[in-house]
Structure 1
């Protein structure tokens, strides 16, 4: 009987120790835990950059209560109320409540660097994802002619000094945003013998561009594409 009591007591102590260890590892519920993550739902959310897969799209978030007034104030802070730019940005926001001017400028600046670099390198694949068909055809024609002459471009993108939206308008469901971009670039064109025929391989040049981006706000595709370029004199 004493032996039975000892064995029973031994297993009881072992059970208590195991419980304490599990409690320390798993923790305890307090009623304030975050709800469990729905992994399947998380996996259905597309990555922020969906250019690599045209079948993946990012849906704009539905504005929260009070977000409408907040967004309007953000636009007023970016563009003077009463101006054409302010009115155009508000029309765009009405079609796409997720639109924020400052965030767009950041994205446009990143796209600018990618496009300038891809053009210099003759990277048609990257350009195709960022340009409208008409602009893409123009860029590819220039690249092809350059290659046929045996010329190459040696380019180093230094950075963007300033970027700002200067015009906004809605054409039906298509939003058009024109951005003035001031950048610094080292660029030189070399002939087939490696001789510089245009630009400089060391001098930093200030470049002023006016680019227009477009997006169909009625489409599920979140991507903006470059539809027009011109040099800002």
Structure 2
């Protein structure tokens, strides 16, 4: 669903500004509106501030020595010897600054940003957070919704759980998959204002499996969403 940075993870630069903006917006993705499955930008210089709708990862400065791989943080989130642990270790070898716990924290922030931007039809924010393929699917779903005259009202309640369930280093690309359980209040209204899906007062649980990726050779410190899947 072009890619973030593994230093610790992408989302410490513009979170406060973005969340303030996004929480003021109504809108939400519903099951019927979910874009097709499977189908962030870097400043020009390290001194230039990142765009407000990009969540940048802390990363090593040029010239800093790369720390030796330390797998304690990985073993704390996935048992040693498991496929997830092995995948995370491979990613740590490609980028010694990668920390899985900080990655999860950043991914949770990105999740809310993406969900709310999709619900609100905020194409610009989505463009900076999604891979080209996923972006095209989301934008098409938004266009279809708008063509039908439908609008969504949504409030993001919070994330109950987020855990890494998959990790793999594919050549130079790192892929990390998370299972995210969140709560939303959402309703879709037709052109007449009638509720045709959801409930404007009910909190519903949403389960998603999202995959983020980044080219570890790139100086771009951002990850992007490359695949989405709804968990039944």
Give 1:68 deviation, angstroms.
3.1
Task: Please give the residue correspondences for 1:25-174 in structure 2 after superposition, counting only pairs within 5 Å.
Answer: 45-46=46-47, 50-52=50-52, 59-61=59-61, 62=64, 68=68, 71-174=70-173
Match of 1:210 in 2: 209
Residues 154-202 of structure 1, C-alpha deviations (whole Å, 9 max, x = no match): 0100000000110000110000000000000011110011100001101
Q: How many residues align?
A: 185
Deviation at 1:45, TM superposition (A): 4.3
Change (3 A) 1:139 1:177: same
Q: For the aligned residues, what is the CA RMSD?
A: 2.1
Q: Verify the 8 A CA contact 1:165 1:177 in the aligned structure 2.
A: yes
Q: Residue 185 of structure 1 contacts residue 204 of structure 1 at CA under 8 Å; is this kept in 2?
A: yes
Q: Deviations over 1:63-120 (max 9, x none)?
A: 67xx536x31111111100111111001000001110001000110000000000011
Partners in 2 of 1:207 and 1:146 — Cα distance? 20
Larger helix fraction of residues: 1
TM-score by length of 1: 0.74
Task: Find out whether 1:192 has 2:186 as its counterpart.
Answer: no
Deviation at 1:50, TM superposition (A): 2.9
Q: What residue ranges of structure 1 are gaps of 5+ in the alignment?
A: 1-43
TM-score, normalization by structure 2:
0.75
Task: Specify whether residues 123 and 53 from structure 1 end up closer, same or farther in structure 2 by C-alpha distance, changes over 3 A only.
Answer: closer
d(CA) in 2 for partners of 1:82, 1:142 = 40
Which residues in structure 2 correspond to 1:178-189 (within 5 Å)? Answer: 178-189=177-188
Structure 1 match to 2:221: 222
- Alignment gaps of 5+ in structure 2: 1-44
CA contact (8 A) 1:63 1:97 kept: no
Structure-2 residue corresponding to 1:6: none
What is the distance in 2 between the residues matched to 1:162 and 1:129? Answer: 25
Distance in 1 separating the partners of 2:59 and 2:77:
25
Q: List structure 1 segments (4+ residues) > 6 angstroms apart after TM superposition.
A: none
Residue 10 of structure 1 is matched in structure 2 by none
Tell me which residue corresponds to 2:231.
Answer: 232
Larger relative contact order (Cα-Cα within 8 Å, sequence gap ≥ 6) = 2
Give the whole-Å Cα distance in 2 for the aligned partners of 1:128 and 1:53. 9
Residues 100 and 145 from structure 1, CA distance in 2 versus in 1: closer, same or farther, beyond 3 angstroms? same
3-state SS, counterpart of residue 160 of structure 1: strand
Q: Aligned with 1:203: secondary structure?
A: strand
